[in-house]
């Protein structure tokens, strides 16, 4: 008993005096390794008589447990001391600049959508939305587009094989005009809305994609005329391009849903291969560029929505959001808008806090 107690005292003292993990590991091997002193005592139990085993076995197992506990406690103490030394040596200099973290950006289309909403909100317009999957009545028929119109052809419009409960063909909307129909059928005049959103047409090249973004405007009220339309478009385009020298030219045109109809041209000039909107199209170095379509809402469209065209009149207009972004911010290929190229987005994208306001600047 006294020999085992002496061994325990010696080993525990040596473990407590171990100065590092290497010294502690050497003591563990010397005591508990295959050739260790405690391992030898455990092996000796096999050669003892039952009475000797009963007397010395518990003492040897107690020795092993005491040494194991002492090793664990000393290792924890050495680990804590090593961590304290490491933390003291790795102090952070808070005056150093932080590493730059990757930052996302707002897509130009989203930015321009926000700019348009800000401009038209200042003129009393609300933002209206609608489903991108439409029936052909709201997309075509209610807009006075005849059955034989080319826009209804399969090569221009994406149709679904299904029909709705009333047997009407279903399709991906080709413009946001169905939002105008839905608004006139669900809301009492006067109406002032813009309808931004995605639209779909079977077309693809540098300036056309099968999916693109469009914004349309609609005003329904009493006594509305072309003068109101022209003022609205001039005010909108001057605010959007942030120039006071925007000059419009309205050319007679034809759209089934407006009568009279007008294509709207703006003056522009070329600078370093880029179109800069502004100035009179007939001035030296300038030319005219078609920008959007517009007109007075056709009486048939008003009647199709359950309103009296003798009481209510209105105007409507539509323009591509992607094209507005290209003209203002200098992009030259519409397909790049949807490639998901991070290099393009980091160059043309906007910061998350670049919120357009009329007071702070629409271009953020």
Q: What is 153-172 written as a DSSP string?
A: STTTS-EEEEE-TTS-EEEE
**What is d(CA 250, CA 261) in angstroms, rounded to the nearest whole number?**
9
> Does 263 belong to an annotated binding site?
no
Q: What are the φ and ψ backbone dihedral angles of 282, each rounded to 5 degrees?
A: -90, -5
**What is d(CA 354, CA 357) in angstroms, rounded to the nearest whole number?**
9
Do residues 294 and 317 lie in contact, with contact meaning Cβ atoms separated by under 8 Å? yes
Do residues 171 and 292 lie in contact, with contact meaning Cβ atoms separated by under 8 Å? no
**DSSP secondary structure letter of residue 190:** P
Unique residue bearing structure tokens 């063909």: 169
Q: Name the nearest CA neighbour of 317 among 246, 234, 210.
A: 234
Do residues 291 and 266 lie in contact, with contact meaning Cβ atoms separated by under 8 Å? yes
Reduced to 3 DSSP states, what percent helix, strand and coil does the chain have, rounded to the nearest 5? 45, 25, 30
Binding site residue list: 259
Binding site residue list for Mg(2+): 259
């Amino acid at each position: 008993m006294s020999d085992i107690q002496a061994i325990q005292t010696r080993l525990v003292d040596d473990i407590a005096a171990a100065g590092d993990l290497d010294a502690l590991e050497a003591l563990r091997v010397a005591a508990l390794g295959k050739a260790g002193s405690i391992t030898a005592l455990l092996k000796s139990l096999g050669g003892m008589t039952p009475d000797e085993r009963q007397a010395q076995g518990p003492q040897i197992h107690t020795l092993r447990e005491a040494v194991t506990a002492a090793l664990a406690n000393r290792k924890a103490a050495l680990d804590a001391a090593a961590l304290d030394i490491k933390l003291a040596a790795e102090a952070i200099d808070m005056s150093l600049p932080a590493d730059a973290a990757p930052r996302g950006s707002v897509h130009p289309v989203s930015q321009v959508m926000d700019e348009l909403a800000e401009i038209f909100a200042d003129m009393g317009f609300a933002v209206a939305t609608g489903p991108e999957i439409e029936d052909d009545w709201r997309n075509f028929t209610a807009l006075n587009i005849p059955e034989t119109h080319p826009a209804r052809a399969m090569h221009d419009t994406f149709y679904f094989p299904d029909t709705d409960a009333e047997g009407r063909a279903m399709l991906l909307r080709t413009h946001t005009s169905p939002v105008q129909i839905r608004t006139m059928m669900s809301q009492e005049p006067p109406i002032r809305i813009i309808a931004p959103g995605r639209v779909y047409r079977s077309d693809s090249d540098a300036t056309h994609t099968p999916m693109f973004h469009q914004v349309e405007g609609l005003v329904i009220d009493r006594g509305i005329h072309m003068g109101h339309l022209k003022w609205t478009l001039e005010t909108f385009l001057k605010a959007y391009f942030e120039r006071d020298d925007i000059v419009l030219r309205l050319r007679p045109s034809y759209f089934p849903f407006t009568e009279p109809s007008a294509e709207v041209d703006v003056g522009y000039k070329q600078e370093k291969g880029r179109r800069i909107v502004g100035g009179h199209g007939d001035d030296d170095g300038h030319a005219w560029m078609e920008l959007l379509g517009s007109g007075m809402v056709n009486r048939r469209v008003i009647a199709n929505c359950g309103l009296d065209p003798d009481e209510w009149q209105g105007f409507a207009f539509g323009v591509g959001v992607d094209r507005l972004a290209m003209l203002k911010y200098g992009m030259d290929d519409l397909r790049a808008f949807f490639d998901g190229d991070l290099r393009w987005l980091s160059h043309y994208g906007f910061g998350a806090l670049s919120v357009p306001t009329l007071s702070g600047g629409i271009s953020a």
